[in-house]
Every structure is written in structure tokens, then in C-alpha cells.
Amino acid sequence: MKRILIAAVVVIAGGLFFAQYQMTSAVRDQLDKSVQMASFYGQLSYDDVSVTPTGDLEISGIRFVPHTVDDSIRMDKLVLETDNPWVLYTLSDELKNGHIPDHLALNVVGLRIDPNGPLMQSATERQGGKGMMTKLALAGCNVDDRNGPASGSSDDIIDISLGYQQAQGGSQLDLLSRVTIHGENTLTTRLTLNPGGALNAFNGLQSARSVELKSAELHIQDQGQVLQELEDCARETGMSVEAFRKHHLEAWRAVWSTYGLAPDNTLANAYREYIEHPGSTLDLAIEPFPPISTKDRYLSTDPDYLSGRLNPQVGVDGASLKPFAITRTETTANAGEPASATSTTPRETPTTQSAIAVSDLDRHMNQSLRVVMNSGKVLEGRLQAVESQRLQLQRRMFGGNMVVPVNYRDIQSIQRQ
């Protein structure tokens, strides 16, 4: 019996070794072809290919040096993550047969790049300089349009993970991502989708025609960036850290205003807590109602519509999430028009009509209403539906008619037009 067990172990070990050899050899052949193809643009190289006992395929020591600029990209490891060795060894055949594993992830470990090098500068220039998120993060700071405050000359070290997980028999698909910039922050996202049917390698695009976004989560975990930027910007502006923090929070609201937007106090207070406590995690989530579908022919970018449709929520460090809203700062402009500095004062509510109670809305179906929001913004349109938590208002927007959900909690008063 003992000899049989020993023989079985030897056979299994030999089979695993042979399978691993086949896998790594095939990957090396493909990598060598990629090295040849990349030679037109630069020098691409790698150190080794291996398979871990848990079924992950690893390519280590990847380097790329372009011919045109004095810069380079280096990567400690590129990892294809699977659930177990069997999934990895049968992956090629399963994909050929149209089958997709329940879980796969591609992990970039130790990506090193010079943030001030020509490659990053070229990428920033293609994006047109700083975007809104960057301007919000650096609000009130005297920095160059392309680069943040200089806090060091070393390369950025970045870890990236992109993957998916099928659940509930393929009726739910979670798209997962995590980006960590060492010494700065970790950004984690989860998109929960209804794929509209079981996914496979052949009908994936067909299924995508009926995909629904059920929910999304975004977590920003500070790992040193908040305090570093506060200190750098305080030095740039000649303020103390505490004085610049207050200045930054005021400038943060001003940046929103330049885009014709205004965050409510819930969002502003959550951001203030995040900034005042370095090392915190800012949690954001949306739960669209109804779910956003690829069948939707049009999705308005009006912030009032989106706040009602997406049901955004915010919290800090895992505390209970609270709903928030982002509104347009102008209240007299039609939806879709650019922000105007002269239209930020809410219109006065007329007193010629008596207010309509929410409990009486059923009696005013298909009638034209004037809804004054808590923010002071005024919505005008025809009442289409009355629900438990919101009403549906048909408005004239973007050259056409659109039904917009309006939450009762955001309404100050309702009147007949």
C-alpha cells in the first residue's frame, strides 16, 4: 500500500511538472514574439515565467525602454490570477470552447515609472492637462498645471489589479479593480452588473447589449497623500498646514462652482472629515433606480436628474453611508446650458398658488407643477407618476422631453404652475 501511495505521488508530481513546463514554455514562446514585435518601438525584456502552487501565472522582471525618449517602464511581476491550478491549465481549451471561468484577475505588481519623466508628461498632455478630480484634490494650491507639488524625486511604485467574479449562477457579475500608489493611496472599485445571461467567450458581446448596472462602490484609502499634499501646498502658499486645510476646503467648493455645480453639505462634510483625518477612507456608492442598462438610449447628464436616478451615498471609514446630491448652481438656465455666473441666485417662489402636499399629489397627475428644491433650484414640468419615495416629473431638457425622478426629501415646496 505504501508503495502504491508513493507511486501515485510521483505520477501526480510528474504530471504537474509536465503541465507547468508546457504552460511556461508556451508563454515564453508568445513573449519572445512580443519582444520581437516591440523592437520597433523599444527594448522589451523579462526575467522569468513561472506558475505558483495556487494556479497563478507569473512573468517577472519586465522592462521596456523606448527608443525615442530617455525613460523606462519597469514591472516586478505581471500575474494572471485564477482560482486553482486546474483552471489555469485548462484555460486555453475552455476559452476555445466558449467557456469563461468564474474568476480571473490580471495583477500588475511593482510598476515603476518616473512621474516627472517624458512618458508621464506625454500622457498628461494627451489628457489635456489637469482634469476636474485633480483640480479638486489640489484646490487652492500653487502648483504647475501638469505636475503636483514636488514631494520627492523617486519613481512612483504602483500596483494594479483588474478582475471579475461571477456569482449566483452567472446572473451577477462583479467587476473589481484596485490601484495602489505606494505612499499615497489605494483606489478600490466594485461594479455589480446583471449581465443579461450567462457569459461565455462567444456571446459576451451579444450579452453586453442587455447589461444592467445594479450598484457601484468606490473606496479611496489615504496612505500618506493627504498629509503630504497639505504640507507641500502649505509650503507653496506660505501658510500653516491648518490654515491651508481651511483654505483648501473653501477652494474645493469654488472648483465645483467653476463647473456650474454645487455639492450639498453631506458630501462637503464627508470630504472635510476625510481631509481632517489623514489615513481615512472615503466611501462612495451608487444604487441606480431603475438600474442603468445598455438598452437606455439616452442618459441625461443633468446633476439633478443623476442625483435622483443614481441615489449616490457617501461615508468615511466604513460608517453608515448617507445620501447626497450635486446640483447646478444656476437655477434659471435650462438643462444642458453652460453655467452662468449671473444665474446663481434662486428665483423667488411665487405666492399666488398654494402649496401642494405630497399626500395630495395623486390629485394632480399630468398637471404642470413648479417644484422648489431645498437647494433653491426650481424644477418645472408635468407630473407623470407618484411613488413612495419620489415623484416623476416630465421636463423639457436637451431639446426633448425627459422624465426625471425627484426625491421627496429634497423638495421644499410644490405648486401648480
Q: What residues does each domain of the chain span?
A: 114-328, 358-416
- Contact (Cβ atoms closer than 8 angstroms) between residue 23 and residue 51: yes
- Contact (Cβ atoms closer than 8 angstroms) between residue 348 and residue 377: no
Q: H/E element holding 402?
A: strand 400-407
- Give the span between the Cα atoms of 37 and 71, in whole angstroms: 19
Which pLDDT value is given to residue 26? 82
Write out the three cell numbers for 199: 457569459
If one counts every other C-beta atom within 10 angstroms of the C-beta of residue 115, the result is 18
- Give the span between the Cα atoms of 407 and 51, in whole angstroms: 53
Q: Which parts of the chain sit beneath pLDDT 50? A: 7, 9-16, 18, 145-153, 205, 331-352
- The partner residues of 192 in beta bridges, in order of sequence, read 174, 215
Q: 305-331 b/e with 16+ CB inside 10 Å = b?
A: bbbbbbbbbbbbeeeebebbbbbbbbb
Q: Angle of helix 265-276 relative to helix 241-258, nearest 10 degrees?
A: 150
Residue 15 has what DSSP assignment? H
Parallel, antiparallel, or unpaired for β 322-323 and 281-286? unpaired
Which pLDDT value is given to residue 374? 86
**How many residues are there in the chain?**
417
Q: What is the mean pLDDT of the chain?
A: 82
CA distances from 357 to 106, 373, 416 (A): 54, 14, 11
Q: Which CATH number fits domain 358-416: 3.30.420.40, 1.10.510.10, 2.30.30.100, 3.30.420.240?
A: 2.30.30.100
Peptide bond into 323 cis (omega under 30): no
Which pLDDT value is given to residue 329? 79
| Angle at CA of residue 35, ends 31 and 36, nearest 5° | 120
Helix (H, G, I), strand (E, B), or coil: what is residue 47? coil
Write out the three cell numbers for 107: 495583477
Which pLDDT value is given to residue 379? 87
- Nearest CA to 182 out of 203, 158, 149, 206 is that of 158
Phi, psi of 293 (to 5 degrees): -120, 150
Which pLDDT value is given to residue 211? 85
Which amino acid is it at 150?
A
pLDDT in tens, 156-193: 999 999 999 988 777 889 999 999 999 999 999 999 99
Which pLDDT value is given to residue 377? 83
- Give the span between the Cα atoms of 398 and 85, in whole angstroms: 53
